[in-house]
Amino acid sequence: MEQNNEEIYQKYYDEVFQYLFCLCHDKALAEDLTQETFICATFGIHKFRNDCKIEVWLCQIAKNLWNKELKRQKKLTVISMDSEIGEIGASNSVEDELIEREKRIELYKQIDKLESPTKELMYLKLTTELSFSEIGQVLGKSELWSRVTYYRTKKKLKENIRKEEEENESK
């Protein structure tokens, strides 16, 4: 491995943290799990086979730690992320900003209704720079599954949001 532990930590901390935050929506827990991810990676670096990118490997470790945490808590955590989506552009006025925020909230409400692993796919695509192939590796699926599921889910989410907007307008 060409990078040392400190370089890996500096380069991928934010990406791993964002992924875990999407899963747990708890900043303190996401920070703890991110730290634990890098500790596990440090002790397990000899197991890294270079058959995927390091960030994919780190997200796999993070996902395993999250699943372990869920089992420990013996309950499912409702994910309702409150961070920005890169796809929604910056607004020009306070009113536009409020409308965009409502759109983001509605989008995350719709994503929250999805089943795993589709929900995880959507969060990974929205919050990381991982490719469909890499997301497939994290989720134990193929690149084709990731790509097709993402576009079908995106279309379905747009339809659901449009329908809810129409229902709200008719009230």
Angle at which helices 94-112 and 143-170 pack, to 10 degrees? 120
Rounding to the nearest 10 degrees, give the CA dihedral for residues 138, 124, 78, 81: 160
| 144 φ/ψ angles, rounded to the nearest 5 degrees | -60, -45
Q: What is the CATH classification number for the domain harbouring 131?
A: 1.10.10
Domain count, the chain: 2
pTM for this entry? 0.49
pLDDT digits 0-9 by tens, 112-163? 888 989 988 888 888 777 888 888 999 999 988 988 898 888 888 888 878 8
Instruction: Looking at the structure, tell me whether residues 52 and 111 fall in a common domain.
Output: no
110 shares its domain with 148:
yes
Q: Determine the pLDDT at residue 85.
A: 37
Same domain for 103 and 163? Answer: yes
Domain that includes residue 22, residue range? 5-73
pLDDT at residue number 67: 84
Shared-domain flag, residues 63 and 123 = no
**How many CB atoms are located within 10 Å of the residue 103 CB?**
14
pLDDT digits (tens, 9 = 90+) for 38-89: 888 888 877 777 778 888 888 889 988 888 887 776 543 333 333 333 344 4
pLDDT average, residue stretch 92-114: 77
